[in-house]
Amino acid sequence: MIRPSVCFASIAVLAALSLPALQVSAQTQVPAAPAQAVSAPAPAAAPVFPKPDPANFTATSPTKEAVNAFLNANWGYDADRMWQVQAILKTPVEGISKVVIFVGNKTGKEKPFPLVFHVLPDGKHIITGDQIVSFGERPYAEFRALMQERATGPYRGSATKDLELVEFADFQCPHCKEAQANIDRLLVDFPKARIVFQADPISSLHPQAVAAAERGVCVAKLGGSTAFFQYAAAVFEGQDGLATPDGAALTLNSAVTKAGLDLAKVTACAATPQTKAEVEASVKLAVDAGVGQVPTLVINGRQIPASIPYETLKKIVAYQAKLDGVE
């Protein structure tokens, strides 16, 4: 679910950097030729990119090595992804460089395409499409530090933040409900990960999402993380009940009870200004991090839609952990 009226960098990162690889990973295998086929088609071959012209490398920054390191940080999890830096050009604006790369797939199943972005004078950001995105060998380091400092929601898994996965979700969002299966599998496959839940209710689309988040804050405060995730599971399970105010009251009250907490205490807590401020702080963290859609999973600073195919998600988590030196 995309946050309305606002466009954030996470969408651009997915579209310009991650989406081609995700599309490839979702393709089905070509069926085997039937027995006694007249002739099988020649196997697809990796694309051959044109040789770069040295005359197209007129800018001194960034270097080709820096561009490759940046792309490797984004695409290195996909063994079939291939690319070539074709040009790094000066532009009429001092300090802004134009980078052109060719992108393809080693299996030959995807048509190669060019990708263009502009590196800003600070050398730490690029413009891709209409978005500004972090650039460099460790492009997610800034957001990783932000999550470590401010993602204080209930969590499962490790007490340490070496491998921290922060889930931004809206209790009334159907895609967030679907993504819980991915989160549960990550808990099994990455037992040393810390998986944090941050409420990101989009009230303009989901009128009951804020109330669900406020009660979640109080469940966590009064019962701890274990009670919170029991509450969260019950809310997602009964999500259809959030469609009306009366149904929402019944659904949320039932979820609090299933979490084993006193309904009157949680209700009183949810009505306090402090609780409202905590939910607002969680939403502000999402905005400050450029989270433009829910459900989003921030993996040591790297944003990925939490509902993508699980095997792709698992590869990205493992690869990001490797980049960050996490066993």
Phi-psi region of 257 (alpha: psi -120 to 50; beta: other; left: phi over 0): alpha
Q: Residue 77 — very low, low, confident or very high, per pLDDT cuts 50/70/90? A: very high
CA distance 275 to 233: 21
Q: Which CATH class is domain 142-323?
A: alpha beta
pLDDT tens profile 227-285: 999 999 999 999 999 999 999 999 999 999 999 999 999 999 999 999 999 999 999 99
Per-residue pLDDT, 326: 94
User: From the centroid of its chain, how far is CA 237?
Assistant: 23
Residue 14 is given by DSSP the state: I
Which burial class, exposed, middle or buried, applies to 278 when counting CB atoms under 10 A from its CB (0-12, 13-18, 19+)? buried
CA distance 154 to 192: 16
Per-residue pLDDT, 3: 60
Q: Of 312, 73, 305, 276, which Cα lies nearest the Cα of 167?
A: 305
Residue 131 is given by DSSP the state: E
* Integer CA distances (angstroms), 279 to 55, 196, 207, in order: 54, 14, 14
DSSP letter for each residue of 263-288: HHHHHHHHTSHHHHHHHHHHHHHHHH
Per-residue pLDDT, 109: 84
Report domain extents, the chain.
45-128, 142-323
Per-residue pLDDT, 14: 38
